[in-house]
Amino acid sequence: MTLLELEGVTASYGPVQVLDGVSLRVPDNGAVGILGANGAGKTTTLRAISGTVRAGGRIVFDGKDIRGLRPDRVAALGIAHVPEGRGTLGDLTVRENLRVGAYLRKDAKGVAQDIDYCLDLFPNLQNRIRSNASALSGGEQQMLAVARAIMSKPRLLLLDEASLGLAPSTAKNVYDAIRRLRIESGIAMVVVEQNANLAFTLVDSATVLETGRNVLTGTSAELRGMDEIRRAYLGG
């Protein structure tokens, strides 16, 4: 079954059109990557899904047309967006950030269990639970951003450049945890990532965007084997 489907999605900033007919299909429990150079429209595609940019075309989530819905409505349907630059709340502690992630939930017991789960998934956060988010390292902030999204109990996670600015070993830790989350929770994912090697450890398939259009779509194994992908995204 298809959980999310984009067809011919367009978007503009002012007069400048930056998405020119993007398509994407995410199966239930699936993880799909979006690759592409700077400015290709990866972030804007995630914004179109989460309702933070106005979009044209078709965006259907769980059989429901969500294009044009306000971001809070989209979130309430079970789509959690971990934005580029992380967006944790610096003046709040780690625990408070996690609680903010769960603000729509009424099941106090489930929330407490999920906080424990997040701290098990990201043990670094356990030691910093009372620290302000602004005092965390870049890697810890990324972990917190993902954990906060988990706290909303999403059915679909939108991840934007989770490895950006992190040391390779930290980026690997973050992706290892997200892969574990995927296996244990079955949460579907759209994964925007410049580091295709990392992306391919997590996603089943991916699409490559160029100036707001899909130019190539395939399984991770297919894409990994292509010379043009190796040259552009895999360092040779």
Ligand X SMILES: Nc1ncnc2c1ncn2[C@@H]1O[C@H](COP(=O)(O)OP(=O)(O)OP(=O)(O)O)[C@@H](O)[C@H]1O
Footprint on this chain of ligand X (rule: CB under 6 A): 13, 18, 36, 38-44, 84, 194
Closest contact distance (angstroms) between CB of 43 and ligand X is 3
**What is the Cα Rg of the chain in Å?**
17
Using CB under 5 A as the binding rule, whether residue 152 contacts Mg ion is answered as no
What are phi and psi for residue 150, nearest 5 degrees?
-60, -35
61, 156 in Cβ contact below 8 A? yes
Q: Which is nearer to Mg ion, 45 or 205 (CB)?
A: 45
Partner whose binding site includes residue 18, from ligand X, Mg ion, none (CB under 5 to 8 Å by kind): ligand X
How many residues are recorded in the chain?
236
Amino acid, res. 51: G
Report the site for Mg ion in 77-96 (rule: CB under 5 A). Answer: 84
Structure-token pair, residue 232: 């552009």
Closest contact distance (angstroms) between CB of 18 and ligand X is 4
210, 178 in Cβ contact below 8 A? no
Closest contact distance (angstroms) between CB of 108 and ligand X is 37
Partner whose binding site includes residue 139, from ligand X, Mg ion, none (CB under 5 to 8 Å by kind): none
Partner whose binding site includes residue 40, from Mg ion, ligand X, none (CB under 5 to 8 Å by kind): ligand X
Closest contact distance (angstroms) between CB of 47 and Mg ion is 9
Q: In what order do the strands lie in the sheet with 213-219?
A: 79-82, 156-160, 188-192, 31-36, 205-210, 213-219
Handedness of CA 87, 90, 94, 96 (dihedral sign): negative
What are phi and psi for residue 58, nearest 5 degrees?
-120, 130
Can you tell me which of 3, 22, 30, 43 binds Mg ion, judged by CB under 5 A? 43
Closest contact distance (angstroms) between CB of 116 and ligand X is 33
* Contact range with Mg ion by CB under 5 A, out of 39-47, 98-106, 201-209, 223-231: 39-47
211, 41 in Cβ contact below 8 A? yes
Partner whose binding site includes residue 44, from ligand X, Mg ion, none (CB under 5 to 8 Å by kind): ligand X
Structure-token pair, residue 189: 């994912």
Residues at the contact surface with Mg ion, assessed by CB under 5 A: 42-43, 84
